[in-house]
Amino acid sequence: MNCTKCKTKAVIGLPRHNAAFCKGCFNGFVHDQVARAIKSEWMFGKEAKILVAVSGGKDSLALWDILLKLGYKADALYVNLGIGAYSEQSHAKVTKFTESVAASHGATLHVHTVEQEAGAGIKELAQLIHRPTCSTCGTIKRYQFNRVAIEQQYDVMATGHNLDDEAARLLGNVLHWQEEYLDKQGPSLPASVAGFAKKVKPLYRLSERELAAYAVLNRIDYIVEECPMAKGSKMIQYKEVLNRLETESPGTKQTFYWGFLDKQSKKQPTATTMAEKDRAVLHPCTSCSQPTTAEVCSYCKMMARAKTVAPH
């Protein structure tokens, strides 16, 4: 198998593109896909100050690597969830990447440790407040990523969601006809009200397999294991279904998700209209001032409950 572009020996085949690439051309392909995503979705410009949400996994570390190599000013935030050995390993992977790659680009790593603020790791915290672990985790990460982005004056927050993630999320939203989520499912979500950071997903044009290959070829050391708290997740089930379809018909995920984005672009309300809707229902939390639909945001309610029921 030879590289489609330069005709030397290929290291990876991409069935959905009917192409194969050597390492150099594959890196060029990946960088081009991210650059196209940034430009087509008006995510950010060259002077933007970007905060990347990193977990120690292949997608977020690859995103940070790509943005730095494309010449962007990108720092990162890691939220240590306190999940025993898993969090220790993932934190070590992020630290290693920061020291070996990011620091040479002048990039900074911010770290937030859940246990320091909540007095317990994510699993223990979820048990204390009687909420599912993944739900508790999602609330904490969304809050902390937005908080740091706003407090440190970043222009945009970037996450490592890839094509597989977005197609699986779309499948779940369609199966349950969650129209509110469908309206806001896209690669770029503007900062509709004060206190909310703009959120973007520059990897939406790349598959999980392609990003794993990028990480391996570029010697990015990442945590391979899935989060132990994610066992039985519906998202994993949706990904498995889509993987079977992709095997039978390469390009299924791309057709499904990109087709959705194309339809949405033709009927989606303007960013101004969405901002008006958000302003109508959102106001500052009386405790932390971040936007919320209630008097007190879900994060502050959760932390208050944890402190109330925690053993002294």
Per-residue pLDDT, 52 = 98
Up-side HSE of residue 103: CA atoms within 13 Å toward CB? 7
Cβ proximity of 59 and 67 under 8 Å: no
Tokens of 227: 């989060």
pLDDT tens digits along 88-116: 999 999 999 999 999 999 999 999 998 88
Of 3, 26, 1, nearest in space to 214 by CA: 26
Per-residue pLDDT, 34 = 98
Instruction: Please state the pTM of the whole predicted model.
Output: 0.91
Residues whose CB is less than 8 angstroms from the CB of residue 3 and which lie 6 or more positions away in sequence, other chains included: 9, 10, 20, 21, 22, 25
Per-residue pLDDT, 117 = 78
Per-residue pLDDT, 297 = 92
Domains of the chain: 12-235+248-269 (3.40.50.620)
Q: What is the rounded (10 degree) CA torsion for 163, 166, 167, 169?
A: 160
Per-residue pLDDT, 269 = 58
Per-residue pLDDT, 243 = 96
CA distance 171 to 267: 19
Tokens of 308: 């109330």
Per-residue pLDDT, 279 = 65
- All residue ranges of the chain with pLDDT < 70 are 268-280, 309-312
Per-residue pLDDT, 283 = 85
